[in-house]
Amino acid sequence: MEEKIAVVTGGSSGMGLAIAKKLQENGIKVYVLDIQQSPEGFGFFKVDIRHDEEIQNALSQIPKIDILVNNAGVYFEKYLEDTTNEEIDKIVDINIKGTYLVTRNAIKKIKKSKGSIVTIASCLGVVPELTSPLYCTTKAGLIMFTKCLAQQYADCGVRVNCVLPGPIDTPLLQNSFLDESMAEHCASRIPMRRIGNPEDVANMVFFLISDKATFITGGAFPVDGGVSSSSLYSK
């Protein structure tokens, strides 16, 4: 992994930070693209992935890209009839359009390095959550995006996969709990009866970009404690 360069979007906190640390620990130079400052030790560009010119400016300063981790995204919970047009635009622009723009701008360098792309989707891209149809739809879109790119770029030596996290112990998830009982209820609905750790996701990402996964592309890999295998989660 020495001399490899990775770009991690949304790498300043939560799962993105755990991924960035895992890659760095294994000798990979990591550049974080985020709207908030990353911890010291990583290359950093302040980028809102909704803005194409900001992405272009950042990536133009990175000499090569061996690994792209599309992690930046936002969770959104609201019923169909309560969702405003502004909310639709924001979630789609970040989760779908932003990921598309970053990948489109990075692909030339990834093709040159015969690199790897890993996109963080969600188990809710395959299992419906009744209170968040828009979020589920965007994450399902990322799974299909992964499959399309895997087919298109296989001949170039580029591998494209996605990871489907379930509930992961990040500040974003903790802030959604009003009290400890809500966290316990969330854990109780997971077949493995616990909330995941950011490192669980980071370990899967590292496997997928490693030489141990050279014959794997177009895959969607759950890291969700069994959520996506259980229809009970959506009830």
Which of the pair, 178 or 150, is modelled with greater confidence?
Answer: 150
pLDDT in tens, 58-104: 999 999 999 999 999 999 999 999 999 999 999 999 999 999 999 99
Q: Residue 74 and residue 202: Cα distance in Å, rounded?
A: 18
- The domain that contains 76 carries what CATH number? 3.40.50.720
161-189 residue pLDDT tens: 999 998 887 766 666 665 676 666 666 67
pLDDT given at position 230: 73
Catalytic residue flag (residue 135): yes
Task: Give me the domain span that covers residue 99.
Answer: 5-168+198-226
Report how far residue 5's alpha carbon sits from residue 61's, in angstroms, rounded to the nearest whole number.
12
Q: What is the 3-state secondary structure (H, E, C) of 159-191?
A: EEEEEEECCECCHHHHHCCCCHHHHHHHHHCCC
- The verdict on residue 99 lying in a domain is yes
Q: What is the pLDDT of residue 150?
A: 98
Contact assessment for residue 114 and residue 160, using Cβ atoms and an 8 Å cutoff: no
* Catalytic option among 31, 75, 135, 153: 135
Assigned domain for 175 exists = no
- Give the Cα-Cα-Cα angle 195, 79, 228 (nearest 5 degrees): 35
Q: Residue 14: its pLDDT value, please? A: 93
Residue 189 has a pLDDT of: 74
Nearest one of 23, 32, 45 to 201, comparing CA atoms:
23
90 belongs to a structural domain: yes
Number of domain units in the chain: 1
- Asked whether residue 177 is domain-assigned, the answer is no
pLDDT greater at residue 180 or residue 197 = 197
Distance in angstroms (rounded) separating the CA atoms of residues 233 and 47: 35
Q: What Rg, from alpha-carbon coordinates, does the chain have?
A: 17
Does residue 184 lie in a domain region?
Answer: no
* 13 inside domain: yes
